[in-house]
Amino acid sequence: MFNILIVEDEIKITQVIKAYLDKEGYHCIVANNGEQALEFFLKNSIDLIILDRMLPDISGEEICEKVRAISKVHIIMLTAKTEDSDKIDGFNIGCDDYVCK
Residues 18-63 have pLDDT tens digits of: 999 999 999 999 999 999 999 999 999 999 999 999 999 999 999 9
SS3 at position 25:
coil
Q: What is the pTM of this model?
A: 0.93
Q: Quick check: 101 pLDDT over 90?
A: no
Measured distance CA(97)–CA(91) in Å, rounded: 7
Measured distance CA(85)–CA(87) in Å, rounded: 5
Domains of the chain, start order? 3-100 (3.40.50.2300)
CB neighbours of residue 77 within 10 Å: 28
Identify the pLDDT of residue 81. Answer: 86
Angle between helix axes 84-93 and 60-70 (nearest 10 degrees) is 30
